[in-house]
Structure 1
Amino acid sequence: MPVEPPAQPVVLTAGDFLLRPPSVDESSAVLELGLDSDVRMWNPRCQITDEASAIKDCLAGADWSDGSHATFSIVHGCDRRYAGNIALHGIDHVNAQAKVGYRIARWTRGQGVATAAVRSVADWALSELGLNRIVLTHGVENTASCRVAHKAGFDLEGIMRMAKRFGDGQLHDEHLHARISRPAASRTVSRHGA
């Protein structure tokens, strides 16, 4: 049975941070993040190069109407400082799965913000949206994203060889992580064929 897309954008929490739909008011911070060298390397689809493209990114992220994504800005709960974004994207309602990706501002890296955001979005997607599988991929050399995946409860399923061209123009191997709606130990596996 296909799952339903979110009817409207929601606000989630992730530790001291709020996850809420993007706003054009944060376009300057979005541009700064989009120009960050680490973001350019590990998020090659990021096309934010000027104020106009930052505004376009905010508007696209805030429009959840087609049900294909749920994009959130990550903002500090007290001062509303922009800390990055996270998106549940490629939502496949028929097969009850989606992908998750994120970009984290330099000022907050290494503080567990990405892990909390990924965990919060995955929890929401698996419980409220009725999805069964969330996938997180990253370049094998991107060890910070590997730590985020593990800490957020995503199991490493394997390595996809030469799977993606990253910001250096080279094809890289990727780790494939996934989190499913129930622990692997609770699944019944038939060893006698179907």
Structure 2
Amino acid sequence: MDDVELTAPGLRLRRWRHEDAPAVLAALNEPAIARWNSQDVTDLTRAAAWIRWRADWSSGTRMSLAITDAADGRLLGGASLNQIHHGNASIGYWTAAAARGRGVASAAAAALTAWGFADLGLHRIELCHAVANPASCRVADRAGYRLEGTLRESHLYGDGRRYDEHLHARLATDA
């Protein structure tokens, strides 16, 4: 997995780099991201630690990529496969404020999903998001993830509250 680099129209998904720290710090402290993500990234030192953790794929159970603008390399967000085990995984993503509403998250999720099926041999990838986050529901739909149900108060989010979550999933055998 060390040399993974993916593309989608206008996007490049690549490994995290130390120089991403200032953009990561700004993005993860933006209220819309902080609400849904419980990251304690309050300064550049913690941003650098966050990047090192995200860039370490040695466990084989998770991998994370920076989503960048293909033209200028600007950081637009992040996407990851987590809980990789026995052909299953979960996917997560976030986008910086300037990248929202442009299809960045759904294009990145679709590219990472296709790679997971083709290169990792995954069979099922799940995507969960708070029901109170309808933008994430649109991302799931656009990336081809079918809604399977609602998980009641299943996750504690960055704002310290538990939310019901929608569970979406894709199978390698889905069209």
TM range (shorter): over 0.9
SS at match of 1:163: strand
Aligned-residue CA RMSD (Å): 1.1
64, 71, 80: which one pairs with 2:64?
A: 71
Which runs of structure 2 are paired with 1:8-87 in the superposition (5 Å)? 8-44=2-38, 46-87=39-80
Structure 2: unaligned runs, 5 residues or longer: none
* Aligned 8 A contact 1:34 1:48 in 2: yes
Q: Please say if 1:145 is aligned against 2:169.
A: no
Q: Deviations over 1:27-83 (max 9, x none)?
A: 000000110101111112x22121111101111111212211111001111111110
Contact 1:9-1:64 within 8 A present in 2 as well: no
Residue 9 (structure 1) shift: 3.5
| Contact 1:9 1:70 survives alignment (8 Å) | no
1:101 to 92, 97, 113: 92
Q: How does 1:124-135 map to 2 (within 5 A)?
A: 124-135=115-126
Name the CA distance, whole Å, in 1 between partners of 2:9 and 2:60: 26
The runs of 5 or more residues in structure 1 that have no matched partner are 1-5, 185-194
Q: Moved runs in structure 1, 4+ residues, more than 4 A?
A: none
* Identical amino acids, percent of aligned pairs: 39
Aligned-partner residue type, residue 9 of structure 2: G
Corresponding residue to 1:166 among 146, 157, 167: 157
**What is the TM-score normalised by the length of structure 2?**
0.96
User: Could you list the per-position Cα deviations for residues 115-169 of structure 1 after superposition, in whole angstroms to 9, with x for gaps in the alignment?
Assistant: 0000000000011110001111000010000000011000001000111122332
Q: Would you say how many aligned residue pairs link Structure 1 and Structure 2?
A: 175
Max Rg structure: 1
- What TM-score, normalized to structure 1? 0.87
Alpha-carbon distance in 1 for matches of 2:159, 2:56: 31
